[in-house]
Amino acid sequence: MTTTRPNIVFIMADDHAANAISCYGSGLNATPHIDRLAHEGMRLDHCYVTNSICTPSRASILTGTYNHVNGVTTLATHLDNRLPNVARHLRASGYQTGMFGKWHLGEGKEHEPSGFDAWSVLPGQGDYFDPVMIDAEGPKVEPGYASDIITDKTIDFLEARDPDRPFFVMCHHKAPHRPFVPHPRYRDLYVEDLPVPDTYDDDYSNRASAAELAKMRIRRDMTYEDLGLIQPEGGDEIGEAQRSENGFVGRKVPDPEDVSGLVLIDKDTGENFTFATRRELDLFKYQRYIKRYLRTIAGIDDNVGRLLDYLDANGLSQDTIVIYTSDQGFFLGEHGWFDKRFMYEESLQMPFVIRYPRAIKAGAISKRIASNVDFAPTFLDYAGLPMPSYMQGVSLRPLLEDKAGEDWQEVAYHRYWMHKDYYHNAFAHYGVRDSRYKLIYWYNEALDQPGAFDGDEPPEWELFDCLEDPSEMFNLSNDPAYREVFLAMLTKLDAKMAEVGDVPEHDSAALRAGLEASSR
C-alpha cells in the first residue's frame, strides 16, 4: 500500500567504523547488505557525532539536542525519560513506534524507553549470547545471538503492526562493541592477514599530549577477552589489570621486551601462539583484533539483509526510509588505536547510508556537513511534523534530496566530557570541523573548577588541514602560515558554541591578543 507518510526503519550499530563498510571504499571487508542501502540511496561522507561515546550520542539522536542541554554528557549520566524525544512526537502523531536492542540510557522507571509502543532492550551493554533483555514486563533471558535476536524482535514488531498506520522502529545492535564476539558461523572469515594501517606506528609527535597518553593502543591496552584468548590464572605477572569505577574487568595481554617465554592460547581452538620478536607479537594483536571485529560486523550485515528482505517481501520498500548508521566511529588500528572518544576523524565520523526510493536518488553521495543531532529533526520533517523549539539540529531532508543551498550548515560541533576515564585516559576536549579544517581545544587545566575532573596538563590547541593531511598527523595550530586559518576556525568555534548555548573554557579575546602580540 502507499502511505501518505513514510515508514522509518533506523538501524544503528555500536562502534561501527565507516572504514569497515565496503561502500565507503577502504577495501577492508565486504558488507553487501549495508552497501545495498547506499547503492539504492545516498551515502553521507561527512556525518559527525556530537560526542564520540555511546550514551551521549544516543541521547542526541533521540532528542535532537546537544549533551549540555539533554544532560547526558558521559557514560554515567542517563536520560530523563520525562524529556520530550522524537519517538514521543511520532507516536502522538499516529506512528507505531518500537525500540529493540541496545538502549544504554539508563534503567528503571526514570530512564527506560519512553514514546515507544513496544520495546525490548539490553541492560547496560548487554551480552552477545543468550542476553537478558528488558521490556515493559521485566527482564528475561533470550536464547541466541544478540544480532539475530534484535533483528527478530524488529521483524516481529513489523509483523504485528497495524498496516493502515506508518511505523517508526529503532533496531539498535550491540555489535560490534568490545569485546568483539562473532557468532561461530563467521569463524572462517578473514583467514588471510589484513593490511596494517599506514599510521599504525604513529609516535604521536607534533600532537597534543592527549594522543600519546591515551590508553587505547592495540599493542598494550587490549585484554585477553578482546583478542579471543584464554586468560591465565594469576596477577600482574600475566597482564596489567584493567579496572573500571565498578571494579576489576580483566587483564591486558602483556607487551614484554622479551617475548621468548610468552605463550598465548586461542580460546576456541586451543592453538598455542609463540613469538620470535616483539614486533611479531604486536602485529599478532592487530590481526586478532581486526579479524574478530570484522567477523562480528558480518553478523550485523547479514541481519540488515534479513530486514531488507522482509520489507521487500511485504511490499514496504518504496514507502520506507531505511537508515544504517553507528553511534560513533571507531579506530581500526589507525594511530595504533582501537576505541573512539577523540575528535580525530576515524572516531568523529559516523557512517550514514539512507534509502527512500520516493525522494532520494539512487547512488547519491553527499559531502555536506551532517550531525547526529540532525537525525530527530529529519524524522519529523519526513513525517510532516513541525520541529519543536527545543531541538537544536536541522532537518537533513534538503541535503538528502539534493536541495541544500549555499547557506547549508558549515560546521559540526563535538564535545567530549569524560576527562581521564578509568579505561582509556582520554582527555576532555571540544572543537569544530568544517569541510576542510578541524580545530580542537584540549582544555585540561581548565577542568580545575568545582564539580569537574582535575586536570594537570596545560590547555592545548590542535588545527588540522583534513584535505592535505587526512590522517591528521601534523598539528598546525602554531604554524604561522596557518595563523589566519586558525583565527577563522576560532571564529567558527565561538559562533557555534554561542548558537548551541555551550559555555567555552577558552578565552578567545586573550588568545587573539596573544597571537597579535607574537606576530609583531
Q: Does residue 240 fall inside a structural domain?
A: yes
| Calpha distance 370→19 (Å, rounded) | 18
Q: Provide the percentage of residues in the chain whose pLDDT is more than 90.
A: 91
pLDDT digits (tens, 9 = 90+) for 245-291: 666 778 999 999 999 999 999 999 999 999 999 999 999 999 999 99
Q: Does residue 420 fall inside a structural domain?
A: yes
What is this structure's pTM? 0.96
Angstrom CA distances, 285 to 43, 343, 365, 435, stand at 32, 25, 35, 35
Q: Does residue 276 fall inside a structural domain?
A: yes
For the cut 60, the answer to whether the pLDDT of residue 93 exceeds it is yes
Q: Does residue 231 fall inside a structural domain?
A: yes
CATH number of the domain encompassing residue 418: 3.30.1120.10
Give the domain-ending residue among 287, 310, 329: 287
Q: Return the number of other C-beta atoms located less than 10 Å from residue 73's C-beta.
A: 20
pLDDT digits (tens, 9 = 90+) for 127-173: 999 999 999 999 999 999 999 999 999 999 999 999 999 999 999 99
> What was the pLDDT predicted at 449?
42
Q: Does residue 501 fall inside a structural domain?
A: yes
Contact criterion met (CB below 8 Å) for 116 and 97: yes
pLDDT digits (tens, 9 = 90+) for 270-281: 999 999 999 999
Give the domain-ending residue among 256, 287, 318: 287
Give the domain-ending residue among 222, 257, 287: 287
Number of domains into which the chain is organized: 2
Query: Residue 493: which domain range?
Result: 413-518
Q: Does residue 147 fall inside a structural domain?
A: no
352-355/320-326 β-pairing: antiparallel
364-366/264-265 β-pairing: unpaired
Q: Does residue 483 fall inside a structural domain?
A: yes
| Residue (of 294, 411, 245, 290) closest to 343 by Cα position | 411
Q: Does residue 472 fall inside a structural domain?
A: yes
